[in-house]
Amino acid sequence: MDRLIVQGQRKLFGDVVISGAKNAALPILISSLLSSEKLVLTNVPKLFDIKTTEKLLHFLGVEIEKDKNSIELSAKTINHIDAPYDLVKTMRASILVLGPLLSRFSKARVSLPGGCAIGSRPVDIHIRGFEAMGAKINIDKGYINASTEHLPEGKLIGAKINMDQVTVTGTENLMMAATLARGETILENAAKEPEVIDLGNCLIKMGAKILGLGTKKITIIGVESLFGANHKVMFDRIEAGTYLVAAAMTGGEICCHGVESDKIEAILLKLKEAGAEIKIEDKKITIKSDGQLKAVNLTTSPYPGFPTDMQAQFMAMNTVAKGSSKVIEKIFENRFMHVQELIRMGANIDIKKNTAIIRGDDKLSGANVMATDLRASASLVLAALTAKGDTEIERIYHLDRGYEGLEKKFNQIGAKIKRVK
């Protein structure tokens, strides 16, 4: 299993090109199941989760052609309507094939998914939504079995669905399914994330009728079929945020290219509050810091609030900032697993239920640590960049799920990170 060796106390300077967003690319790749025509995508990041999704789509029967800059998908012929456990066990986003398969082919069998162990992400909201649209669903031996064969023409029927809590994958799954349903579907309490909007914009290019993207109420008017389209995947907000925090922590100056500042406003506001200088230009953001930061309090919440996927990185920053801070996690109940690893490096952190209390210091030391999930892995890399001595990070396959060429990009701006097989 690969591991990273990170040399500490390195300042970062230079330019970073931000990759396409994993959390946008995954559902957009899966949306290819909704049409028999070709979907051509650009700016798709080269990540383990992308490969997993491609394997799943290939198993279902999607033809995939790739070149250096694009991926072409054709779901003209589908061989299977089931997503087996072996193909979905490492990635929770696999549940997203349920909506498109059910909507286009009238039935689907999808294994309950796996992924990062950061807490309960129940699929009951997805299931209740499909049932409201007329589907018959039962769960048997770890599989969700769904059918609309009893409905007229075997099609889902539009419905008003009020989701109990904001869920990105739930919004995406139901939105995709509703594009081919009979009549109008209204999603209340829908997710507002830019990645949801990106998926919606791709579906609109394919011929879907969708109103209200970016609001709490999304309306989808079902159509007979969707067509082929070309779409560029949006930039990765979390990758951009990770590099910006790294520059702030280490004391340096970097420019992130290919970003839209309005989509990471909550992150930029907290970096400014910590004392970093931010310069915003068209599709690029420059951050400058002397490394002398102030600790910042934060509470995670759905977009446009502070993203849970940046919580671990900011906690790492707070460990080396001046003053005490509180980090409150309101999205996932088990997203503090990186805390024990940061403590191994000398961090002063106490946990009380969903609140972490951090007493800042500038004395982290290199240690052997273990990544527990994707964003926890990133927080350990950031802490290691500021620590005295070398840090060895094990189980970095988590990083490969969500960061394209992480060590290469960091090394280009002054870090010294070595991957050991």
- Mean pLDDT score, 366-388: 93
Do 67 and 201 reside in the same domain of the chain?
A: yes
Do 335 and 261 reside in the same domain of the chain?
A: yes
Do 134 and 61 reside in the same domain of the chain?
A: yes
Nearest residue to 330 via CA among 293, 360, 302? 302
* Total number of domains constituting the chain: 2
Whole-number average pLDDT of the chain: 94
Strands 355-359 and 324-328, by their bridges, are: antiparallel
What's the confidence (pLDDT) of residue 383? 97
Do 81 and 138 reside in the same domain of the chain?
A: yes
Do 101 and 165 reside in the same domain of the chain?
A: yes
DSSP string, 204-215: HHTT-EEE-TTS
- Mean pLDDT score, 138-164: 95
pTM over 0.75: yes
Do 147 and 45 reside in the same domain of the chain?
A: yes
Is pLDDT of 332 > 80? no
What's the confidence (pLDDT) of residue 59? 96
Q: What is the CATH number of the domain that holds 330?
A: 3.65.10.10
Give CA–CA dist 241/310, Å, rounded: 7
Which residues are designated catalytic?
116
Nearest residue to 250 via CA among 375, 365, 362? 362
Distances (CA, A) of 245 to 47, 105, 315: 22, 45, 10
Give CA–CA dist 310/107, Å, rounded: 37
State pLDDT tens for residues 283-304. 999 999 998 999 999 999 999 9
**Full residue range of the structural domain in which residue 349 is found:** 3-19+235-420
Do 263 and 334 reside in the same domain of the chain?
A: yes
Chosen domain end from 232, 267, 283: 232
Chosen domain end from 183, 215, 232: 232
Do 138 and 239 reside in the same domain of the chain?
A: no
State the DSSP H helix or E strand holding residue 304, giving kind and residue range, or none if neither. none
Do 141 and 207 reside in the same domain of the chain?
A: yes
State pLDDT tens for residues 312-322. 999 999 999 99
- Mean pLDDT score, 345-349: 96
Share of the chain above pLDDT 70, in %: 97
Do 329 and 365 reside in the same domain of the chain?
A: yes
Chosen domain end from 181, 214, 232: 232
Identify the band that residue 334 occupies on the pLDDT scale cut at 50, 70 and 90.
low
What's the confidence (pLDDT) of residue 247? 97
Share of the chain above pLDDT 90, in %: 86
The SS3 of residue 282 is coil
Do 109 and 253 reside in the same domain of the chain?
A: no
Do 7 and 41 reside in the same domain of the chain?
A: no
* β partners of residue 206: none
What's the confidence (pLDDT) of residue 114? 56
Is pLDDT of 103 > 90? yes
Phi and psi at 379, nearest 5°, equal -65, -35
